[in-house]
Structure 1
Amino acid sequence: MNWIELNKTEGLLTLVVIVNDKNILEGVKDSAFGLQREMTKLNICIECVWDDETIENYSMAKNAAIKYVQTKYVIFVKDEEFLKNFYDQIWIGAIANSDDPKDIDRAFSYKYSFERIMMLNNSRLSGLCVSVNAIKQVGGFNDLLESAEDYELLLRLEEYSPFLDSLDYFVKFANFEIKPVYREDFVTYAYVLARYRKKLEQIKLLTSAVKRTEDWAKLFDQKELLNKSFSAFVDNDEKLLKQMGIKDPIVVIMDEDNLCLDVIEEFASRFYKAALNVGRGVILIKNKNKQWIEDAKNMHIRAILGFQSDIFADINSDEVNINAIDCPKFMDIFDHPLYISYFLMFPVNDYYCLSPDMDYAKFAKTNFTSVKEGYSWWPGGSRVSGLSLDWKNKTYDLIFMGSFTDYRDYIRELYNLKGEERYIANKMLQLLKKDPSKTFEVAYKETIDLVFREDEYLHDLYNDRKLTLVTMNHLWMVARIVTALYREKVIKALLDSNIELHVYGNSWKNKIFAKYENLKIHGEVNYEEGLLEMAKSKISLNVFSWHKDCITERVLNSMFNMSLCISDDSKALHENFIDGEELVVFNLKNIDELPDKVRFYLNNDNERERIIANAYKKVSKNHSWERRVEDLDNIINEILGLDD
């Protein structure tokens, strides 16, 4: 495919002319130059697809072109329409010469209702101007359709209009049929009738819409094709419709008041942007106003994704709630399920758990009855804006982007537990201090087995599933104690070896570190600033929370930003990265070996940079947010039965 940019202006609009015949390219270019002389603010580009075997239809060509468009709005025309002047050039000129989208809305656009659009047809659609972002939000042009793709896109824009800006698209219909009619148009008409048949039934328009379309098909001797296609869409248990709507939007929930140093907000935002980049329809919800649920309950929503979102805990049978939307619903959890159990215990329909730690995903599936399945799903890594591959500007030797918590504070809370639970907690704590490779759940089970042998009166805590879960929830502070304890041990081992360590945030201003001049405490940094700090450091340290089968954003971000990752161990790290080739792993049982490893890689630039290069190659291919969008799509397709 070739992209020919005939001119570049500061205007609002790009006109993309799709040429699928090399022989007429020069004629199209001449016409385009003539049009541009009349509309000086109009960007004109030509997409040439005759030599691209991956482009099978105009929908695919338009989706491919979107990534090149730099203006806010775009109008697509096919070569024959451009040459034969099917599109209203006065209308295009009015949009192109506007300085503000509001001018277009006031003077040149009429808002057509869903009902009106459905009763019209593609032949009367004489102009569709859409913001590039809106096209991406609704999933792009449907590349499974051979024709009338503008018309089908317009219906989806109207469907999802509550989530779009009021000025995201402008449409013009002619008073009579002015565009050519193709046989494939009637497959598209059959599809939209099937897709919206429930809505059409609700507004008592289905019979009229079907008759209007049948009359149009009969005029062009295509009624048989229309009816056959409609039956295929309706009668195939809706599987075909689900396949056709594979890019329908995923709703991403951003809980702005439930942040962890802005990490949760960043995960939602970066997934959203990555989805737009790869052409996956996506809608971002930033507030808790339940009106969006009311708007979405009759839309075609592919899935709902919340990042530790309390929207799944707001299930009140007397009010509209998330169960009103019929689609898979995913909670992404990166803290242990016990820590956010309130979000998992409500009767959410079609509820699934995602987690960067497979142990956490399994725990959620096993212990919370609403969770139908748990999946391993790591966060994506991110690269700081503008960072070059040959970046060598290293200001620091070693940084750690995590926070500090004094485990002694949690120990004081432990003493507030009731007698039996405090007894179990102390036993668990000793077990995990001795063997930090164990998960919290394994330590709990082993502790209970040990306690049974010593004191049978605790038998109910072990055998009653609900009581066990409550008890484990109360004991979660044990994992917090051990996490904080080992994090402090790691930091002290490095500081005691006279290695300079840079950390961030007020949590490090603790008297425990008062004597260490080699601990350099910086102010709080946001997510993007943290990426830059990683890029400025030769080595980035990772110490997990009590994850034993996990990959976190701290690991991936260090690799994306050309900093050597040194991390404690996890099963997922071993399955996805090679120790000594793409990162360096240390064991919490042998923390005393860590300082020597750090010194080795600080003193061996070639070896450090070799590992950094290998890591960057791996994460660029497998661990971007764009890849996470693909991974989630695969999970959704599996759930919907579309993975075969």
Structure 2
Amino acid sequence: MEEKTELTGAICIGENYLKAELSFEEILLDERLVQGDIWVLKEAFRAVGGLNYRLMAKREYELLIRIAGAYKVLLLNREDGIRFLQQENADEAWIQLKTVMPGAGETQAEKTAGKEAGEIEEGLKTDCYLLGRYRQELTAMNVFDDAVLGILSSCAQKEALTEYLKKMIAQTDAFYYIYDCTQPVLIYTGCDLCYNILDTFSAQLGNALEKLGQKVMYFNLAKQSFKEISSYAKRRFKAVIGMQTNMFYAKWETGRFVHDDMPGPKYNFLFDHPIMLKNYLDQKPYRLYSLTPDGNYAKFIEKYFESPARFLPPGGEDDFSEANRKDYEVVFLGSYGEGPLENLKFVRKTDRQRGYLVNRYILYMRKYLEKTPEQAFEEVLTSFGRTCSKKELIALFHQERWVITELANYYRNKLIKILLEMGIAVHVFGKTWEKCPMQGHPGLIQHPAVYGKDALN
């Protein structure tokens, strides 16, 4: 349990309640004490990890137990409850959970035997989970054995439920599947790549999760030393998330991945083409998943690196104010790059056979723009009569990965040149544009680099 505060974290409102403060122990031992309309402080809801959606019954009750471990829980009658909520500015600071009254709103006909049996069984499963989670506390109160016997008597002739109880008490993986649902999400921040835009994504994701009632912790790679991550080892998290971070590939001196000692799923958002990140994807820390803004990237990772990947682009801004927006006709925030010609000249001089391959690859990609870079590369290899294993193909493709970036630069520059020739002003940002051959054109207007969220203006 967390250290208890003096804040009221939840109130239970009933018609005939006498005002009282309920202790953690009282709520844990008797769920009937917290019937009625339940209101929860948003801060408390988030701090304890919100509702546990992996429980199919008694979610509100289980939440109140966690809240009672760190906050006050009050019983109030209807009149006192309304007065309390008015004083607390409830519309902004509090959440109302569904009313918890056994059988409320149901007729006897609606309570079929099958429905009741299912509800009872799911309720017993939650009780089993609570026994596993609070075994030490119940033992200290000298009621653990009685609680186990009580559930066993309810599970009579239900062998599956008895086995479920054993798993919960033993805290097996089945127990932690439920437990981890209310643990914090750890997000890595402090990345300055791409003009801090990755760090902006991290902040926005964390903020969105917090708004949903999720507890979020942050590890700032720019301000915290790597050694500090050792204090997170063995801790349980609902998830660990990074934005194209190399943190997931860090190892102890023994050679073991640091994140193998942090149970739970890890998610690394990868924004560049996966071949650019081969050194990351060749390694597979325990339960690491890739998230990408491009469905083809996800397919590529799963096919060639045999690693789980999902298409999940980051969200945008839904409350952006245009008050400070500049009146620019066309804005381009990316960096300048010269295109493939100089690299191609170098390759031709150093390795003629490789030069032929790269030249064909560039021409093929320019001709078949609907092809993905990997499809084009495979088809070019086939045209040369070369057959490769997955590993060999990836090694060759990785060697020529620069073509993808430089072809993007080629079309980027071509587009900007066309806009300038049409008399359209293009505003560019950052020092890289000082190398641009179009520098000096009156329509190409250079500005200092902008970082992160400031780019929206």
> What is the aligned partner in structure 2 of residue 276 from structure 1?
210
Give how far 1:495 is off. 0.6
Equivalent AA in structure 2 for residue 152 of structure 1: R
Find the partner of 1:435 among 368, 384, 404.
368
Over 3 Å counting, the alpha-carbon distance change for 1:507 and 1:226 in structure 2 is farther
> What is the aligned partner in structure 2 of residue 481 from structure 1?
406
Find the partner of 1:194 among 132, 153, 157.
132
Deviation track 1:157-208 (CA, whole Å, cap 9, x = no partner) reads xxxxxxxxxxxx56799xxxxxxxx999998664233246xxx6xxxx5993
> What is the aligned partner in structure 2 of residue 401 from structure 1?
333
Deviation track 1:587-638 (CA, whole Å, cap 9, x = no partner) reads xxxxxxxxxxxxxxxxxxxxxxxxxxxxxxxxxxxxxxxxxxxxxxxxxxxx
SS in structure 2 opposite 1:399? strand
The answer to whether structure 1 residue 377 and structure 2 residue 287 are counterparts is: no
Over 3 Å counting, the alpha-carbon distance change for 1:424 and 1:137 in structure 2 is farther
Does the 8 A contact of 1:193 with 1:230 survive in 2? no
SS in structure 2 opposite 1:402? coil
Does the 8 A contact of 2:200 with 2:453 survive in 1? no
Distance in 2, matches of 1:148 and 1:442, equals: 51
> What is the aligned partner in structure 2 of residue 531 from structure 1?
456
Does the 8 A contact of 1:214 with 1:226 survive in 2? no
SS in structure 1 opposite 2:445? strand
SS in structure 2 opposite 1:87? strand
Does the 8 A contact of 2:52 with 2:63 survive in 1? yes
Find the partner of 1:513 among 429, 435, 438.
438
Give how far 1:467 is off. 2.7
Does the 8 A contact of 1:190 with 1:226 survive in 2? no
> What is the aligned partner in structure 2 of residue 312 from structure 1?
248
Find the partner of 1:140 among 50, 58, 64.
50
Over 3 Å counting, the alpha-carbon distance change for 1:442 and 1:216 in structure 2 is closer
Distance in 2, matches of 1:397 and 1:233, equals: 66
Give how far 1:436 is off. 2.9
Give how far 1:322 is off. 0.6
Find the partner of 2:139 among 196, 208, 218.
208
Distance in 1, matches of 2:139 and 2:373, equals: 62
Distance in 2, matches of 1:74 and 1:154, equals: 9
Distance in 2, matches of 1:79 and 1:490, equals: 65
Give how far 1:304 is off. 2.5
> What is the aligned partner in structure 2 of residue 45 from structure 1?
none
Over 3 Å counting, the alpha-carbon distance change for 1:222 and 1:146 in structure 2 is farther
Give how far 1:239 is off. 5.5
Over 3 Å counting, the alpha-carbon distance change for 1:147 and 1:352 in structure 2 is closer
SS in structure 1 opposite 2:275? coil
Please provide the CA RMSD for this pair: 4.3
The answer to whether structure 1 residue 84 and structure 2 residue 8 are counterparts is: no
SS in structure 2 opposite 1:347? coil
Q: How does 1:98-137 map to 2 (within 5 A)?
A: 122=28, 132-133=42-43, 135-136=45-46
Q: How does 1:325-474 map to 2 (within 5 A)?
A: 325-369=262-306, 371=307, 373-383=308-318, 385-387=320-322, 395-407=327-339, 408=341, 410-411=343-344, 414=347, 418-452=351-385, 459=386, 462-474=387-399
Give how far 1:247 is off. 4.7
TM-score by length of 1: 0.51
Distance in 2, matches of 1:320 and 1:312, equals: 8
Give how far 1:475 is off. 0.2
Q: How does 1:486-497 map to 2 (within 5 A)?
A: 486-497=411-422
Distance in 1, matches of 2:140 and 2:436, equals: 75
The answer to whether structure 1 residue 322 and structure 2 residue 259 are counterparts is: yes
Give how far 1:437 is off. 2.8
Distance in 2, matches of 1:450 and 1:222, equals: 69
Query: Which 5+ residue runs of structure 1 have no aligned equivalent?
Result: 1-13, 16-72, 89-116, 156-168, 174-181, 453-458, 533-644
Does the 8 A contact of 1:332 with 1:355 survive in 2? yes
Deviation track 1:546-604 (CA, whole Å, cap 9, x = no partner) reads xxxxxxxxxxxxxxxxxxxxxxxxxxxxxxxxxxxxxxxxxxxxxxxxxxxxxxxxxxx
Query: Which 5+ residue runs of structure 2 have no aligned equivalent?
Result: 34-39, 75-100, 103-119
Q: Percent identity?
A: 21
Give how far 1:231 is off. 5.7
Distance in 1, matches of 2:357 and 2:266, equals: 36
Give how far 1:497 is off. 0.7
Distance in 2, matches of 1:222 and 1:193, equals: 10
Give how far 1:483 is off. 0.8
Give how far 1:489 is off. 0.5
Give how far 1:210 is off. 9.1
Does the 8 A contact of 1:195 with 1:241 survive in 2? no
Over 3 Å counting, the alpha-carbon distance change for 1:136 and 1:437 in structure 2 is same
Give how far 1:381 is off. 1.0
Does the 8 A contact of 2:427 with 2:446 survive in 1? yes
Distance in 2, matches of 1:245 and 1:327, equals: 8
Q: How does 1:175-324 map to 2 (within 5 A)?
A: 190-195=128-133, 205=136, 208=139, 212-215=143-146, 224=153, 232=164, 234=166, 242=177, 246-254=181-189, 256-257=190-191, 259-287=193-221, 289=226, 291-292=228-229, 294-295=231-232, 297-299=234-236, 301-316=237-252, 317-319=254-256, 321-324=258-261
Does the 8 A contact of 1:361 with 1:375 survive in 2? yes
Give how far 1:447 is off. 1.5
Give how far 1:333 is off. 0.8
Over 3 Å counting, the alpha-carbon distance change for 1:223 and 1:121 in structure 2 is farther
Does the 8 A contact of 2:420 with 2:443 survive in 1? yes
Deviation track 1:268-309 (CA, whole Å, cap 9, x = no partner) reads 11111111112344333223635546535242x333322111
Deviation track 1:43-80 (CA, whole Å, cap 9, x = no partner) reads xxxxxxxxxxxxxxxxxxxxxxxxxxxxxx65322235
Distance in 2, matches of 1:475 and 1:145, equals: 53
Deviation track 1:31-53 (CA, whole Å, cap 9, x = no partner) reads xxxxxxxxxxxxxxxxxxxxxxx
Give how far 1:432 is off. 1.8
Does the 8 A contact of 1:382 with 1:531 survive in 2? no
Over 3 Å counting, the alpha-carbon distance change for 1:233 and 1:423 in structure 2 is farther
Over 3 Å counting, the alpha-carbon distance change for 1:448 and 1:188 in structure 2 is closer
Give how far 1:259 is off. 1.9
SS in structure 2 opposite 1:509? helix
Does the 8 A contact of 1:502 with 1:519 survive in 2? yes
Distance in 2, matches of 1:241 and 1:374, equals: 23
Equivalent AA in structure 1 for residue 203 of structure 2: S
Deviation track 1:75-104 (CA, whole Å, cap 9, x = no partner) reads 32223599633239xxxxxxxxxxxxxxxx
SS in structure 2 opposite 1:396? coil
Over 3 Å counting, the alpha-carbon distance change for 1:513 and 1:313 in structure 2 is same
The answer to whether structure 1 residue 502 and structure 2 residue 427 are counterparts is: yes
Does the 8 A contact of 1:428 with 1:444 survive in 2? yes
